[in-house]
Homo-oligomer: A and B are copies of this chain.
Amino acid sequence: MFGAVIHAPGDVRYEERPDPTILEPSDAIVRTVAACVCGSDLWRYRGIAPVPKPTPIGHEFCGVVEEVGDAVTTVKPGDFVVGGFNPSDNTCPVCRKGAQANCLHGAHYDGAQADRIRIPWADGTLLATPGTPDEDLIPSILTLSDVMCTGWHAAVSANVGPGRSVAVVGDGAVGLCAVLASVQLGAETVIAMSRHDNRRRVAREFGATHIVTERDEAGAEAVKALTNGIGADCVLECVGTESARLQAVGAIRPGGDIGLVGVPHGDLPINDLFWRNVGVKGGPAHVRSYLPHLLELVLDRTINPGLVFDLDLPLSEIGEAYAAMDERRAIKSLVRP
């Protein structure tokens, strides 16, 4: 089969790789229908995270089950499935608490930007759609593998709910999904912080009530101006850089909650936050926990998170899929084998 392999910063290649096989009775093999590039893949692409050797890459997918191990009971060959970027057995004590991202038996994919993928813990990771979904739903289903669940996780971690005011830092695909999640969870005011026309358009489509184009201190002041002078009840930090984190700290009201999903590349002034009674929670998303509800919302066309994809390429053009995101020519790239 063929798949994407990162060789060095800026160098992702489409190349032949061995076909995956069932290694454990709890495995499944999925034929990929669609995969995509994650903002977190760019950390290596940009040389911020190391690439010690050529490595298959990608962790978002949906597709059709081809084969299952003997222990798999909830999905079968022919099922159309989506699974989270972080396989979980969904039965360990941590999973039973709803914290599947931290499954005691967590595992990783050996590169999901590929024709086929070995899925560890198939029962705990995959969810099958009833029948084959309409073609136009594929992008939205694919977002449930990571980006939509991650935006949802930011909102849940920050206690977004009815009547609340929310500011979203970051207008990447995760930030946009965090806007959609906040609207869906009943927030009254949803402020998207974005300077890019095309991203602002998606934010509006997702239900953002306000757009703030300023950044840093001016951005925080603009959020305060929209929230009775005190800052938002909830701020969703969907970038991870030091400046994004400080912008979140500047925009939150005393007693508010910051939801963190941007991979941390900076510190937080945690003792200052103590005196302001600001909460901080987040991390990798508990995809398996959110998947059933969000898949329902996608299938009944309540939400359309697939709008975050503005580039749709054959898998063979994976290099361009990365380059377009890196150069901000695309919000998020979908690839099809």
Contacts and interface: CB of A to CB of B under 8 A. Distances in A.
A264 B253 contact: no
Contact of A102 (B228, B254, B257): B254
Interface in A249-296: 253-255, 257, 260, 264, 267-268, 270-271, 273-284, 286
19 contacts: A94-B230, A94-B255, A97-B255, A99-B255, A99-B277, A101-B254, A102-B255, A157-B279, A264-B271, A264-B274, A267-B270, A267-B271, A274-B282, A274-B283, A275-B284, A277-B283, A277-B286, A278-B281, A281-B281
Copies of this protein chain in the complex: 2
A104 B230 CA distance: 9
A254 B93 CA distance: 10
Contacts of A230: 93-94, 97, 104
Given A99-B254, A102-B254, A102-B255, A228 B274 contact: no
B255 A98 contact: yes
Given A101-B254, A279-B279, A279-B281, 20 more contacts: A93-B228, A94-B253, A94-B254, A97-B230, A97-B233, A97-B253, A97-B255, A99-B253, A102-B255, A102-B276, A157-B277, A255-B286, A260-B274, A264-B270, A275-B284, A277-B281, A277-B283, A279-B280, A279-B282, A280-B280
A242 to B, nearest CB: 12
A314 interface: no
A270 B268 contact: yes
Interface in A100-114: 101-102, 104
Contacts of A284: 275, 277
